[in-house]
Homo-oligomer: A and B are copies of this chain.
Amino acid sequence: MAPSLEIVDTAADDIVVKSIAANGNGSALDRADQHDKVLKVFRSFISDLCQQFNGGHPGSAMGMAAIGVALYKYVMKFSPRNDNYFNRDRFVLSNGHACLWQYLFMHLVGVKSMTLDQLKSYHSSLTDSICPGHPEIENEGVEVTTGPLGQGVANAVGLAVASKHLAATYNKPGLELVDNMTFCMIGDACLQEGVGMEAVSLAGHWKLNNLCIMYDNNSVTCDGTADVANSEDMNGKMRATGWNVIDILDGDSNIAAIVSALTQARTSDKPTFINIRTTIGFGSAKAGDAKTHGAALGVDDVANLKKISGLNPDEHFAIPQDVYDFFSDVGPRGQQHEAQWAEKIQKYTQEYPEEAAEFQLRVEGKFPSDWAKYIPAKENLPTEPTATRKSAGIVGNVLGENIKNFLIGTADLTPSCNVAYPNKVDFQSPELETACGLNGNYSGRYLHYGIREHAMCAISNGLAAFNKGTFLPVTSSFFMFYLYAAPAVRMAALQGLQQIHIATHDSIGTGEDGPTHQPIALPALYRAMPNTLYIRPCDSEEVAGAFIAAINATETPTIISLSRQTLTQYPQYSSREGVAKGAYVFYEAVDRFDVTLIGVGSEMGFTMQTKDILESEYGIKARVVSFPCQRLFEQQSRDYKRSVLKPGAGRPTVVIEAYAANGWERYADASISMRRFGKSLPSKAAYEFFGFVPSAMAPKIKDLVEEVRENGIQCLRGDFRDLSGYLGVGFEH
C-alpha cells in the first residue's frame, strides 16, 4: 500500500515555486497575499450570484475556491480561448451543483463566452444562458454535462481511457501527441453512488495514472454531517482499489499544498485520489453548515462576509483589476501549449506521415467514409434460423475489426453477446498483461468492464465526449441490465453522444433465467426517452439495418435489442431500408385486407404464422408491418406513416410483442402483449404460457375483425383491446 503523503503548510512557498516552474511560468514569488485576496473576492462574488435570485448552491463553490486557484492558475494545461485544443487537460465537475465555481474560474481565466452578464444569468429566466444549474456540454469549456451524482466520475474515467488509448496508439518517442491529464472534482455523493464506485474500481484496475480525483471533503451533505450515512476509511478504500492517495489538511487556503499534490498526480504510476479537507460555505457566518449547500446565504450574511473580507458590502459582483491580473498569464500559457503541440504535430507529420494522416482524421472526429463496405450484403446473410444476437456478431464484428473508432466493451458477457471481433486486443494495463499473461495493452480496443453495467455506459459517455467522433463506443449486456445502466444511457441522449448498445436476451424468449431476466416494461422507457433509438430487428437483414441506422445517428445513442433464441429469417420480406424508416410494410395482402398485424423483433415469426392461419382457417386477409423502431418512424412524413399503417381504411390493427403494450396505442387498436412479469420456462414454453401461439392468436384476431365488420371501426375508439391469451395468476396490471 502506498503511504498517505501528508503535505504540511510549512513547505508551502517552495511548493508553489516548484509547481509554478513546472508549469513553465518563471516567476517564483510568495503569493500568499495575492492568494488571500483572490479567494476573498471569489467567495463574495459567489455569494452575490446566489443572493440575486435567492437560490443556487453557494456552499461547495465557496469551499472549493482554493482548489480552483490551484487548478486553473497553476496546474491545468488548457487554452481558455480555444476549448477545442485537442491535447488539453480535461476537467469534470462531477458535483455539478457547484457549477458557479467552474463558471467563475472560466470567467477569470478569460473564456470568451463567459461574460459578467452571463455569470449573472445563473438561475435567471434568460433562455440562452450558458450558466445553467448544472454544467452543460453545449457550452464553451464544459467537457460533459453533470448533475446526477456519480456520473461525472465515470465520465472522467472514460476521458482518461480515451487519452491512454490514443497515446498508446499514436504517440512516438519524444512525440507525445496525446499526454493530457483528466482532473475530476467530486463531493461525498460521487463516492457513495454505486456508479462512482464501479468506475473507481475500473480506474484502479486499468492503472489510469492520467486521472486525478479531487475530493472536496467538507464532511457535510444535505442531511447534515456526512457521518449520518458514512463511516468509511475512504483513503484506505481507495488504496485497496489501486489508487495513489494524497491528503490535504487545509484545503480552504493552502493553495501551495494543492498545487503540489496535483503536480505529483501527473507523475504517479496509479490514478491519484486527493482527499482535500475544506469548509462548506467558507467565509460565511454559516460556514460548515449544510444550510449553505442549496440556498443563498441571505443579504446580511453576504454583507458580513464582504466586511470581514475587507471588501465593500455595498458593492455587488465586484472583481478588482488585480484579481483579473492574477489570472492574466493563464491565457498566454494556454497559447504556448497550443503552439508547442502544433510543433509536435508538424514534426510527427514529417517523420510518420501515414500515422499522422490517420491521427488527423481522429482529431477531426471523422468516421471512415467507406464504413458501409463492411456491412454484409443481404445475400451474404444467413438464411437458416439464426438468433439476432448471432446476426449482430456477423454484421458488427467486421466493423469492429476494421474501424479503429470503435471501442467495444462488455459487462462480462463476452460468450453471450458476440461482440468480441476477430483478433481483438483487450484494453489493459501492460503490467497486467505481464502479470496475468492476458492479451492486452492500452492500444487494445476491447474493454472488459466486469459486472458493472452502469459504469460501462457512463464511462462510454466519457469516451464519446473526449472529442466528438474520435470514438464510437459500443457496450454489451443482456437487455434487462440496461435498466441498471439507464441513468447513463439517458445522459448520453441528453448530451447527444453517439453510442451503440448491444442488448441481447430481450423479451421472454430469454427463457429459463426467468422473470428477473425477462424485460417487460423496459422498452417503454427507451421508446419514450428523447434522442434515443431503441431498435428491435426481426432477422439478420434488419440487424444490418439497425447497425446502419446506429452509425448514421451521429448525435444519438442506439440500443440494438436482440434475441437469445434462433429466429426464422425473412430475406424475401425484411429490408434494411425499411429499418431506416422505423417501420415498413413487410407483407402486403393482395386485392384487399381485413386487418394489419404489427410484428416486432423476435415475435415476427409468430406474426407471420398467425397471418397464414388467418387466411387458411378463416379467409381473413392480413397485411404485416415490421416495426423495429418507433422513434425512427415518428421522424417520417405523415404520408409515409399513413401508407404503412393505413388508419383511414377502417380496418383494425393488432400489434404482437411480448412486452407491455404501453405506447403501441398510437399505432394499433389491440395488442397481444404482456400484462405481468415473465416466467422461468424454456423459450418456446414461455411464449406458449403467455399465449404467443399463432393457432391461439388467430381466432382472437378473427373475432376482432368480425366485430369491426359488424359495428365499424369506430367501435374500437377509446377501447384499446388486450387479446393476450394468458389470464392466470400473478400480478396483472
Interface residues of A (CB under 8 A from B): 1, 53, 55-56, 96-97, 123-125, 127, 129, 132-134, 136, 145-150, 188-189, 192-198, 201-202, 204-205, 221-223, 225-234, 236-237, 239-242, 290, 294, 410, 412-416, 426, 428, 432, 436, 438, 440, 448-452, 454-455, 480-481, 483-484, 486-487, 490-491, 493-494, 496, 511-517, 520-522, 524-532, 555-556, 631, 634, 638, 642, 645, 647-648, 653, 660, 662-663, 665-667, 674-677, 679-682, 685, 689, 713-714, 717-720, 731-733
Contact = CB atoms under 8 A, between A and B. Distances in A.
A521 B528 contact: yes
Given A522-B525, A530-B660, A689 B516 contact: no
A229 B449 contact: yes
A297 to B, nearest CB: 16
A242 B237 contact: no
Contacts of A97: 513
Contacts of A192: 198, 201, 450-452
Contact of A720 (B290, B530, B666): B666
B133 A680 contact: yes
B634 A451 contact: no
B147 A513 contact: yes
Given A242-B231, A530-B677, A675-B530, A512 B236 contact: no
Contacts of A233: 239-241
B125 A685 contact: yes
Given A192-B451, A448-B229, A520-B529, A134 B514 contact: yes
Given A193-B451, A483-B487, 19 more contacts: A125-B682, A133-B514, A133-B517, A134-B514, A134-B680, A148-B480, A205-B229, A223-B448, A236-B239, A240-B240, A521-B526, A525-B525, A528-B662, A530-B675, A530-B731, A556-B731, A638-B719, A662-B662, A717-B717
A237 B685 CA distance: 44
B524 A528 contact: yes
Contacts of A530: 520-521, 660, 674-677, 731-733
Nearest to A293: B415
Contacts of A634: 733
The 6 closest A-B pairs by CB, nearest first: A194-B194, A647-B718, A147-B516, A229-B450, A531-B731, A132-B680
Contacts of A682: 53, 123-125
A204 B231 contact: yes
A517 B663 CA distance: 24
A142 to B, nearest CB: 13
A231 B147 CA distance: 29
A718 B648 contact: yes
Copies in the complex: 2
Given A237-B240, A242-B232, A451-B221, A436 B555 contact: no
A232 B451 contact: no
Nearest to A126: B681
B663 A531 contact: no
A153 B451 CA distance: 14
Contact of A198 (B197, B432, B513, B521): B197
B514 A132 contact: yes
B666 A194 contact: no
A560 B675 CA distance: 22
B193 A198 contact: yes
A426 B412 CA distance: 39
A695 to B, nearest CB: 18
B240 A232 contact: yes
A432 B412 CA distance: 39
Contact of A227 (B195, B432, B666, B667): B432
Contact of A515 (B494, B662, B675, B733): B494
Nearest to A516: B147
A524 B662 contact: yes
B516 A494 contact: yes
Contacts of A229: 202, 205, 412, 448-452
A681 B123 CA distance: 7
A451 B189 contact: yes
A624 B458 CA distance: 42
B531 A516 contact: no
A662 to B, nearest CB: 4
Nearest to A417: B222
B133 A513 contact: yes
